[in-house]
Amino acid sequence: MPSSRTRHRKPKMKTRRANDDVSPPNNDRTTCSFDDMTLGILRPEKTVFFLVFIVFIGSIVYELNVAPDSIFSNPQNLFNQVFVKWGWGWTLCLLTPYMVLSGLLTCNKQWYLLLKDGLRLVIATFFWYITVNIFLAIEQATGACDVEGFATKKSCVHADSNWKGFDISGHTFILMHSMLTILEELRSMNAVCKYKYSTDHHNKWLSKILPPFIYIFAILLLLLCCLWVWMLLCTAVYFHTFLEKIIAAVTAIAIWLLTYQFWYQKTFSPGSPVRTVE
């Protein structure tokens, strides 16, 4: 006979293990290791302390006169004459196409942002030109030729003589100014990475074509920074007095603070390299 007591079976509940992923798949979980590196380890706010450390330690080595002679102790060496002497030119050759390409990708049809990017380069070039010429004027005003009859440094050097004046290190300034500018502009890699994986970009063609070229120029800029770091160390170890290098370093840092850290954060400015991706 069937039992008068009806058995109600409880449905079996599937227990969820602690390591089960219950969150829905998220297609936006894309990371950019290149961006993490440039905006983390090479963040300008951190790098500036490293550059000052190089100048300070190198200057101590110079004052102690313990560095051995090498190819880099000769001011006529290839790296000094071809790269450092034209340092700002090399920086512009790589930084300009990077900024143009990354700007095209991330401007979101706000083309005036490209003009702002270009204005930042113009301002950086203006500060480079003015500062270097001020340094040269100071050397001219405070110096004298070791041979009588030559009133200018140019005529003194052409006569195979030495001009002795307060020679603020233009190379220290150019190298630090270039590196801080490059690292600040590489902040735009954040937006480049996001647009690379975006499915809602204003121009699908640009989002497919431009990123590889942007990455190439970004990597070349980082390699150039590595060369600039090495040449900064060589400059600190082999050339100029401690005060001449410190003044140059402080000038480069002051320009960086005035522009990228203060002025470019304001409304009426060329703006920050950082793009907001919605």
44-71 tens-digit pLDDT: 888 899 999 999 999 999 889 888 888 8
Q: Which domain holds residue 232?
A: 33-67+85-265
Is residue 158 part of the annotated active site? The answer reads no
- Say if 18 falls within a structural domain: no
Average of pLDDT values for 78-104? Answer: 90
Q: Look at residue 2 and tell me whether its pLDDT is greater than 80.
A: no
- The one catalytic residue in 8, 177, 201, 240 is 240
pLDDT cut 70: percent of the chain above it:
79
Contact 161, 146 (CB under 8 A): yes
- pLDDT tier at 39 (50, 70, 90 boundaries)? low
Share the mean pLDDT of the chain.
80
What pLDDT score was predicted for residue 26? 39
Count of domains for the chain: 1
Which three-class secondary structure state does DSSP give residue 144? strand
Residue 127's CB is within 10 A of a number of other CB atoms, namely 20
Name, in order, each residue with C-beta under 8 angstroms of 135's C-beta and a sequence gap of 6 or more.
167, 168, 170, 173, 248
Q: How confident is the model at residue 106 (pLDDT cuts 50, 70, 90)?
A: confident
Structure tokens at 186: 């590489």
Identify the top-confidence range among 24-33, 142-151, 164-173: 164-173
Is residue 9 a part of any domain in this protein? no
Structure letter (DSSP) for residue 8: -
Residue 13 lies in a domain: no
- Secondary structure class of 247 (helix, strand, coil): helix
Question: Which spans in the chain are helix H?
Answer: 33-36, 44-64, 78, 87-106, 112-142, 153-158, 170-185, 189-197, 204-238, 242-256
Tokens 């930042």 belong to which residue?
A: 120
Dihedral over alpha carbons 62, 63, 66, 69 (to 10 degrees): 40
Q: Is residue 236 part of a domain?
A: yes
Confidence (pLDDT) at 97: 94
Sequence-distant (6+) residues with CB within 8 A of 248 are 135, 168, 169, 170, 171, 172, 173, 176, 240
Judged by average pLDDT, the poorest of 91-105, 112-126, 166-180, 204-218 is 204-218
* 80 falls within a domain: no
| Residue 12 placed within a domain | no
Q: At 161, is the secondary structure helix, strand, or coil?
A: coil
Q: Which amino acid is at 70?
A: S
pLDDT value, residue 80 = 86
Is residue 97 domain-resident? yes
Q: Which of 171, 177, 201, 202 is catalytic?
A: 171
The answer to whether residue 201 is catalytic is no
| Residue 1: per-residue pLDDT | 47
With bands split at pLDDT 50, 70 and 90, how would you rate the model's confidence at 20?
very low
User: Residue 234 domain-assigned?
Assistant: yes
**pTM, rounded to two decimals:** 0.82
